[in-house]
Amino acid sequence: MIVDIDVRLAYNVTQPVDLILQVRAPSFADQNVLSETFDLGTPEQLADTAAEAGLGSRTLLRTSKNFACTYVAKVEIDRPTLDVSALGKVPPHLLPGDIVRYLMPSRYCPSDELQSFVASEFGHLDAGRRVAEMRDWIFNHFSYVPGSSNSQTTAIDTFVQRQGVCRDFAHVLITLARASAIPARFASVYAPHVLPQDFHAVAEVYLDGTWHLIDATGMAQASQIVRIGVGMDAAEVAFLSSFGPISPMEKSVNVSISEA
């Protein structure tokens, strides 16, 4: 599977500002960047640093002029779509040290607040069967409504309102998984069938000793997803963080499946 990515961003800048950008797709075991162009114009200062879990990179920059970014890439995906319900759970006491943090509550995923609900609703299931059931429960009970949430919306807010966007669906699934003692994290991704086209968000759960991508919105298959980065929740994987005032002028994200 080959995925084409075309991202155009532009922001009005009225005073010197620091920005952190995370839009580039990294190469690793199940995805390979075949080609890419990454144009940031001419910022005053520019540096790259490793992102969370060593997956991908963040671009740090400072500019006092209007900022524009173009990212064009072709990425090959070699990742099968597995039946999550057939996967086994790794008990917390056997988890690798770097995975343990993904059991913990976080800013947008207060998993300790939903433990009673998880026990009553999904307590008869375990491991991958429970994750699959939680994914399907979210898909069947929540409405995908653009504009229904904001940067302050937590998984609990979404759980109560029963609506949100991909970010919110991912936060709820992550929260339910952690409340089940299954490590889960937030993944910022590109995917070809997302409507409207934009940066996308899915959950990753740790089953059978490795991470598995799961989209509770039903819009993206694991075999078509291009990871950008991962984190405890959306706070760690924003495509753009601004430390100063900026205003958007353009934002377009186009992702498609390529013939070659």
CA 40 to chain CA mean position, Å: 23
* Domain architecture of the chain: domains with CATH: 2-78+239-258 (2.60.40.2250), 84-229 (3.10.620.30)
Q: Per-residue confidence at 81, pLDDT binned at 50, 70, 90?
A: confident
Q: Decide: 248 and 11 in contact? Cβ < 8 Å.
A: yes
pLDDT value at residue 259 = 64
Q: What pLDDT score does 258 carry?
A: 83
Q: Where does the pLDDT of residue 29 fall: very low under 50, low under 70, confident under 90, or very high at 90 and above?
A: confident
Give this prediction's pTM: 0.96
CA dist 66 and 258 (Å) reads 32
Closest CA to 198 of 256, 251, 245: 251
Tokens standing for residue 133:
């059931």
Quick one: how far is CA 32 from the chain centroid?
18
Instruction: Calculate mean pLDDT across residues 172-185.
Output: 98
Reported as a single tens digit per residue, the pLDDT across 143-168 is 999 999 999 999 999 999 999 999 99
**CB-based contacts of 37, cutoff 8 Å, min separation 6:** 70, 71, 72, 73
Predicted confidence (pLDDT) at residue 72 exceeds the cutoff of 90: yes
pLDDT tens string 34-56 = 999 999 998 999 999 999 999 99
Dihedral angle at the C-alpha atoms of 227, 232, 238, 243, nearest 10 degrees? -150
pLDDT at 260 over 60: no
pLDDT in tens, 133-143: 999 999 999 99
**What percentage of the chain exceeds 70 in pLDDT?**
99
